[in-house]
């Protein structure tokens, strides 16, 4: 008996009812039936993004939306600032370099996050920076960034835009695109959206749309103006991943029923319980400002994190993510993201205790679970 139990920061578990919804016989995408579904998605996405602007649906990995942010907003040679404190900051840099933008990096120690004042200082030094790229949650380190504070710095500069990778946390943590002055917000289907991978989402502020009209970088598939034009007619410019969009309509309904603020609260509780549990086991968190989407935990000195996650996955199906890049073998990451409730966290913590005990790590059996229960009781 082996059950797939994902605690990875993408893909995350998909509700059975949504899996079955997506398994229905296919319909055509240029029909009134599908347009209705698409309209529901566009509305639901606006609420999740907390924006009045269009949220466009791309058929691609999240990386496709990151590329769209760059190719639609930066002409060759124009400058951008990339906050780089993990693998996804790196990716923004790589894409910007590929597209010939002038890239200034704000290096951040992995596990820390950039502060609004660091951003302010960087912009003072190079006032001709056109776009600032940051993550809301740097998935590779489980680190939360104060996007609200950074928005305060950027929103009053007429020639600078703020683009945020919310791929692994939008829909899990508080995120107010319009209110915070985020010009480009990005997410993807396989995280808090509780869907399989294959869709990416992106919204642009009026200021960003203006800039995109003047941007000279070549683009076609990710030219957002085509998606906006199609969305106005409840359509997509190219044949979309329509079964995933049917699933999207379903999960957006579920999230609306729960209420977005309740969804954020649920994720806070799951994250806080996980943090207290691992601390009770004598383990340390990597992130100075941990995200409520995913908890990065330093493995004990004597245990290889890769061996730990592999053994746990193979014995229990409970799948944590390992470390990426320079953190490989040193940390493991527990995502509590999307279709996850308190009882799954208790199960995962218990399984982690058992696995650590099997590997010879000294702990008090039940200590982690007990600490999590206390959080849920409060």
Contacts with a second copy by CB under 8 A lie at: 3-4, 6, 8, 10-14, 19-20, 22-29, 31, 59-64, 67, 71, 76, 94-95, 98-100, 188, 190, 196-198, 217-223, 238-244, 313, 319, 321
Distance CA 163, CA 136 (A): 10
Q: How far is the CB of 366 from a second copy (least distance, A)?
A: 28
Taking the complex as a whole, the smallest distance from the CB of residue 202 to a second copy amounts, in Å, to 13
Q: How far is the CB of 52 from a second copy (least distance, A)?
A: 28
CA distance 87 to 79: 21
Residue 96 CB, nearest distance to a second copy (Å)? 9
CB atoms near residue 301 (< 10 Å): 7
The smaller minimum CB distance to a second copy, of residues 28 and 214, is found at 28
Question: Crossing angle of helices 87-98/62-73, nearest 10°?
Answer: 40
CB distance 322 to 306 below 8 Å: yes
Shortest spacing between CB 23 and a second copy, in angstroms: 4
Closer CB to a second copy, 49 or 99, in the complex: 99
Residue 35 C-beta: closest distance to a second copy, Å: 14
CB of 292 to a second copy, least distance (A): 21
**C-alpha to C-alpha distance for 283 and 275, rounded to whole angstroms:** 9
Write out the two tokens for 98: 């590929």
- Residue 105 C-beta: closest distance to a second copy, Å: 17
Q: Which is nearer to a second copy, 121 or 311 (CB)?
A: 311
Query: For a second copy, which is the closer residue by CB, 220 or 343?
Result: 220
Distance CA 314, CA 334 (A): 16
Pick between residue 142 and residue 197 the one whose CB is nearest to a second copy.
197
95 or 170: CB nearest a second copy: 95
User: Which of residues 36 and 238 has its CB atom nearest to a second copy in the complex?
Assistant: 238
Q: Which is nearer to a second copy, 27 or 39 (CB)?
A: 27
**Minimum CB distance to a second copy, residue 123 (Å):** 25
Beta carbon nearer to a second copy, 24 or 156:
24
Q: How far is the CB of 121 from a second copy (least distance, A)?
A: 29
Give whichever of 98 and 121 is closer to a second copy, judged by the CB atom: 98
SS (H, E, C) the chain: CCCCEECCCCCCCCCHHHHHHHCCCCCCCCCHHHHHHHHHHHHHHHHHHCCCCCEEEEECCHHHHHHHHHHHHCCCCCEEEEEECCHHHHHHHHHHHHCCCEEEEEECCECECCCHHHHHHHHHHCCCEEEEEEECEECCCCEECCHHHHHHHHCCCCCCEEEEECCCCECCECCCCCCCCCCEEEEECCCCCCCCCCEEEEEECHHHHHHHHHCCCCCCCCCHHHHHHHHCCCCCCCCCCHHHHHHHHHHHHHHHHHCHHHHHHHHHHHHHHHHHHHHHCCCEECCCCECCCEEEEECCCCCCHHHHHHHHHHHHCEECEECCHHHCCCEEEEECCCCCCHHHHHHHHHHHHHHHHHCCCCCCCCHHHHHHHHHHHC
């Amino acid at each position: 008996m082996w059950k797939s139990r994902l605690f990875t920061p993408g893909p995350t578990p998909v509700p059975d009812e949504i899996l079955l919804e997506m398994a229905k016989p296919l319909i055509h995408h240029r029909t009134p039936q599908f347009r209705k579904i698409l309209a529901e998605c566009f509305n639901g996405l606006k609420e999740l993004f907390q924006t009045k602007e269009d949220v466009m649906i791309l058929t691609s990995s999240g990386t496709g939306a990151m590329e769209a942010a760059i190719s639609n907003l930066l002409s060759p040679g124009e400058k951008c600032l990339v906050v780089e404190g993990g693998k996804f900051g790196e990716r923004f840099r790589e894409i910007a370099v590929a597209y010939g933008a002038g890239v200034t990096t704000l290096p951040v120690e992995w596990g820390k996050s950039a502060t609004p004042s660091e951003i302010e200082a960087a912009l003072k030094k190079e006032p001709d920076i056109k776009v600032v790229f940051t993550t809301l949650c740097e998935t590779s380190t489980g680190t939360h960034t104060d996007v609200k504070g950074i928005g305060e710095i950027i929103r009053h500069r007429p020639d600078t835009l703020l683009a945020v990778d919310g791929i692994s946390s939008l829909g899990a943590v508080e995120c107010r695109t319009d209110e915070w002055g985020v010009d480009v917000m990005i997410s993807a289907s396989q995280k808090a959206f509780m869907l399989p991978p294959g869709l990416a989402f992106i919204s642009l502020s009026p200021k960003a749309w203006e800039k995109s009209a003047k941007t000279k970088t070549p683009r076609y598939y990710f030219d957002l103006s085509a998606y906006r034009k199609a969305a106005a007619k409840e359509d997509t410019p190219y044949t979309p991943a329509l079964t995933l969009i049917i699933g999207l309509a379903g999960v957006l309904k579920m999230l609306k029923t729960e209420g977005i603020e309740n969804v954020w609260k649920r994720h806070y509780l799951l994250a806080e319980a996980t943090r207290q549990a691992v601390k009770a086991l004598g383990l340390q968190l990597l992130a100075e400002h941990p995200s409520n989407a995913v908890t990065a935990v330093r493995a004990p000195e004597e245990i290889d994190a890769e061996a730990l996650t592999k053994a746990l996955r193979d014995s229990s199906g409970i799948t944590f993510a390992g470390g990426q890049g320079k953190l490989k073998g040193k940390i493991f990451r527990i995502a509590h993201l999307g279709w996850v409730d308190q009882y799954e966290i208790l199960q995962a913590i218990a399984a982690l205790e058992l696995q650590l005990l099997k590997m010879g790590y000294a702990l008090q059996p039940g200590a982690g679970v007990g600490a999590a229960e206390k959080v849920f009781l409060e």
